[in-house]
Amino acid sequence: MGDLLGATSCTGDDMSIRVDRVERIADATIAGWHLDGPAIGQRADSDALEIDGWVIGRTSPVVAIEATVDGRRRSMIAVERERPDVLAHFPAAAGVTPGFRGWVPVGGATGEFAVMLQALTADGAMHPLGMVHGTVDGSPAEAVRDLGEWAGPDFLIIGAQRSGSTSLFRYLATHPQITGSIEKEVKYFTAFAAYPWSWYRAQFPAVLPVATVVGEATPYYLPHPLAPGRVAARLPRAKLIAILRNPIDRALSHYHHERARGTEWLSFEEALAAESERLRGAFERLEHDPGYASIEYQNHSYATRGLYAEQLRRWLAVMPASNLLVVRSEDLYAHPLSTVNEVASFLGVDAVRSIDAVAHNERPYAGMSAATRARLAARFAPANRDLELLLGKDMHWD
């Protein structure tokens, strides 16, 4: 075992950690990386793993390794150790210190665990590296669900972007019977569909109380043409929640979101006029090329994202209508408690008496001209009527 595994402290509960497998995830932004330890088959009577290895970024240096254990805790390990043996194979990385070594506590887990390793580069981006899977021997502190071969989350908030999905996700995460993913947007069925299922599994807690349901929220699932089929193949019984906002207001909010991110330079009216040309061919390529990612379709689809009926039809073609709940963004903000309890009922958990109804992910921005709003109202009117016919309910957006 050498010095690769050990403990910073003992639990006193005869805990034993075993490493079962180590899994690599390819990322084009990482030039190379390796774990010297832990290795498969190693054991330690301890409450922590020692993670030891090296990593080199292709276009930006790696400054730290983030280790996430079953969504419960995180360790940041600095990448600052000298590794001349590694640099001899990467002459272009002169001046880089690629080595890392640090402790990752896993003692709170029971049974199988997964440590997800991600590289933090100097530009602030996270890049998945791999997974360390193992087993902790011990006794569970509470009755938990028998996850077995994990089927996946119980529910997905599939969109729409800039419609309150962050607020809804955070309100639900405070419910005593609901647990969320580590990060709100996992993006597995869009950006990370090529990653192994074990990577997706590591985005959620490993231990769930018996009466708990678990879910995630990725708004890009709603308009992405391949997401419905991918979800249906993996999670055929998942509950789907779509929170929809007046498409006029959603488009303006989306526009200002991109302006704040520095990805939009046109005026709102110019961006609307340029949208069809910007998105030309993007949907068709997304539909037929699983490895394709369209920045334009994701960032500049201001009006396109508001065509809810055609997006929902793609989901209803592969998922049962009884598994879809559509709520209005306007209802969430006007009546947050009753809206959250409507979702709770849909998920089969108890109603709550109160929530801390603070809007999340809001930002102030200028409005649009009356003429622009009138043009958008006329543009969206047929799509809104189509949505109301599909859902059998009035969205009150006229």
CATH fold match for the domains 16-137 and 155-391? no
CATH class, domain 16-137, is mainly beta
- The 10s digit of each residue's pLDDT in 162-185 is 999 999 999 999 998 999 988 889
Strands (E), 7-107: 16-24, 30-37, 43-44, 48-57, 62-69, 73-81, 99-105
The model's confidence at residue 41, banded by pLDDT at 50, 70 and 90, is confident
Which tokens in the block code for residue 37? 């330890």
Q: Where are the chain's structural domains?
A: 16-137, 155-391
- The 10s digit of each residue's pLDDT in 289-331 is 998 999 999 999 999 999 999 999 999 999 999 999 999 999 9
Does the pLDDT at position 358 exceed 80? no
Does the pLDDT at position 9 exceed 70? no
Report helix, strand or coil for 11: coil
Amino acid at 272: L
Average pLDDT over residues 107-126: 82
- HSE value, Cβ hemisphere, 13 Å, CA-based, for 226: 21
% the chain with pLDDT above 90: 63
Does the pLDDT at position 270 exceed 50? yes
64 vs 207: CA distance, rounded Å: 27
With beta carbons less than 8 A apart as the criterion, state whether 281 and 292 touch. no
Report helix, strand or coil for 127: strand
Does the pLDDT at position 140 exceed 50? no
Determine the pLDDT at residue 4.
28
Least confident of 76-85, 150-159, 198-207, 263-272: 198-207
Does the pLDDT at position 42 exceed 90? no
For the chain, state the CA radius of gyration.
23
Determine the pLDDT at residue 322.
96
The model's confidence at residue 106, banded by pLDDT at 50, 70 and 90, is confident
What is the average pLDDT score of the chain? 88
> For the chain, what's the residue count?
398
In degrees, rounded to 5, the angle at the alpha carbon of residue 280 between the alpha carbons of residues 224 and 267 is: 95
Determine the pLDDT at residue 10.
33
What end-to-end distance do the CA atoms of the chain give, in Å?
Answer: 69
The model's confidence at residue 107, banded by pLDDT at 50, 70 and 90, is low
Indicate the angle between helix axes 165-173 and 336-347, nearest 10 degrees: 70
% the chain with pLDDT above 70: 90
Determine the pLDDT at residue 210.
72
Does the pLDDT at position 393 exceed 60? yes
Determine the pLDDT at residue 234.
95
Average pLDDT over residues 363-378: 92
Does the pLDDT at position 12 exceed 50? no
Determine the pLDDT at residue 70.
75
The domain made up of 155-391 has a fold known as: Rossmann fold (3.40.50)
Count CB neighbours of 393 within 10 A: 11
Determine the pLDDT at residue 11.
36
